[in-house]
Amino acid sequence: MSQEKRLTMKDLPENERPYEKLERMGAGVLSDAELLAVLLRSGTRSERVTEVAQRALVTAREQNPVDPLSALLLMPLEALSGLRGIGRVHAIQLKAVLEVATRIASVKAPDRASFQDPAAVAEYCMESMRHLDQETVRVLYLNNKGRLLADKTLSVGTIEQALVSSRNIIMAGISCKAVQFILLHNHPSGDPSPSRDDIETTMKLAEAGQLMDLRLVDHIVIGDGIYYSMKEHGILDRTPV
């Protein structure tokens, strides 16, 4: 018995082919489903690739109605590969695309002098931290002109546990000859509002750094597309903005 072939882009009407549409008009005009179809390349024996893409996005929309494409790419590999029409190879390819996008976002740093600007710092770290499913602590070490010397990530579960590593945070700053540093951590809930523990930890770490002539410039909490700067809110100097 002959085996039915998988439906590919060529099985689509010419005016519905994402490849040709991208060539004519650019990638920016493609819908999420069309971009996904370009990455998947082929569908199943009963579904066109665009139909597979649309169905996958419908599933992802249940998790994130606002940004289903991100929700799809952020699915655990096992869940993503389990979607009909995706499979192991396509799931791995999509995870690789997500990592490429994350790395591109991370190297688009603002001008080094702008690390003194909380909004620029938040933008620098946002895409790599906003979707993390556990609290992660990150430290940016700066010289006396506010230029970035080192960017270190410590996965510690919660910000309170960062105090356990406060000595390591300080020593790492000294080893790279930093004179100031910025602390960041994310809230998986998406709400960056600091807890009392967040604020207490900030003050204790600031005191520890002061003893070693290493100034804590800011503590920024990353939410889903938004941030909270303790510098902007006057918490570090205990004066309201």
How do residues 17-72 score in pLDDT, each as one tens digit? Answer: 788 888 888 888 888 889 898 888 887 888 888 889 999 999 988 877 777 888 88
Question: CB neighbours (10 Å) of residue 57?
Answer: 17
Q: Which of 167 and 181 is assigned the larger pLDDT?
A: 181
At residue 64's C-alpha, the angle toward residues 62 and 69, to 5°, is 100
Percent of the chain with pLDDT over 70: 83
The CA distance from 197 to 37, in Å, is 45
At residue 51's C-alpha, the angle toward residues 32 and 70, to 5°, is 30
Q: Which long-range contacts (CB under 8 A, 24 or more apart) does 144-149 make?
A: 144/179, 144/180, 145/113, 146/112, 146/113, 146/114, 146/115, 146/116, 146/180, 146/217, 147/112, 147/113, 147/115, 148/109, 148/112, 148/115, 149/176, 149/177, 149/178
Contacts of 25 (CB under 8 A, 6+ apart): none
pLDDT by residue (tens digit) across 194-232?
999 889 889 989 999 999 999 999 999 999 999 999 999
Q: Is residue 100 pLDDT above 80, yes or no?
A: yes
The CA distance from 141 to 106, in Å, is 16
What separation, in Å, do the N-terminal and C-terminal C-alpha atoms of the chain show?
75
Q: Which two tokens stand for residue 171?
A: 């020593």
Partnered with residue 169 across adjacent β-strands are none
Q: Do strands 180-186 and 215-222 pair parallel, antiparallel, or not at all (unpaired)?
A: parallel
Percent of the chain with pLDDT over 90: 31
Number of residues in the chain:
241
Q: Is residue 111 pLDDT above 50, yes or no?
A: no
Phi, psi for 183 (deg, rounded to 5): -100, 135
Taking the model in full, what pTM does it have?
Answer: 0.59
Check: CB of residue 6 under 8 Å from CB of residue 45.
yes
